[in-house]
Structure 1
Amino acid sequence: MTHLTTHVLDAATGVPATGVAVELTDAEDTLVAAAVTDADGRAALGPERLAPGRYALTFGTAAYFARSGVETFYPEVTVTFEVTVAGADRHLHVPLLLSPFAYSTYRGS
C-alpha cells in the first residue's frame, strides 16, 4: 500500500468525484506522484513511505467541474501538510469534500 491516499467527495451531488487529477509535490515543488481518482473518488499516491517534510496535494477541480458543465470558483485546490518524524511511519489519508464554491479537508485515518 502507498503511504498516502485521498478520497474526493462531491458535496453538491452527494457522489464520489471521479476522474479528478491529483498531484503530490514536495517542499521544492518537485512532483513526487500523480494519480486520478477512481469510480469511488479514491486515489493512492506516492512511494511506500514519505520522508519528513512539507508536501502539497493539488486537485484539478476545474477540469472535473467542466466535464459536468458546472462553473467553479476554485480551478484547483491545494492542501499543504507536513509529515513529522513521529508520523513518518503512519499511513496518511487526506480527504477532500468538494463543491463548486467551497471545499473542506481534514486528516483522515
Structure 2
Amino acid sequence: MTFYFSTRNIPALQGLPLAERARLLDQASKRLSVPEKTLLNVLKLLVIVPVFAFILQTATNWTSLLWAFVVFLLYPLVIKPIQYSLCAKYIAQPSSKENE
C-alpha cells in the first residue's frame, strides 16, 4: 500500500482544486469496506485515548498536559496518510478520453 501524505499526491486527484479533492475523498471514504472503516476507527482511538489519559493526569502532573498536546498533534500525521491510502483505491481514475 502506498502512503499519501497529501491529497495532492493521489494520482486521481492531481490537478484538482482543494474543494474538489475533499469532495472526492469524502465520497471515497463512504465506500470503504467494513474492515477498513474498523481499522481506521481503531487507529483513531489509539491516538485519541492517550490524550484523554494525559489530561486526566494533569491534577498530579502538569507536564502531562504538554504530552497530551504532543500526542494530539500526532493525530493528523498518523491517521491522515492511512485514511488517504485506504480511500485512494475508491477514487475513480480520470478516463483517457477526458484528457484528450
- Normalised TM-score (structure 1): 0.23
Higher relative contact order (CA 8 A, sep 6+): 2
Higher strand share: 1
Flag the structure with larger Rg: 2
Higher helix share: 2
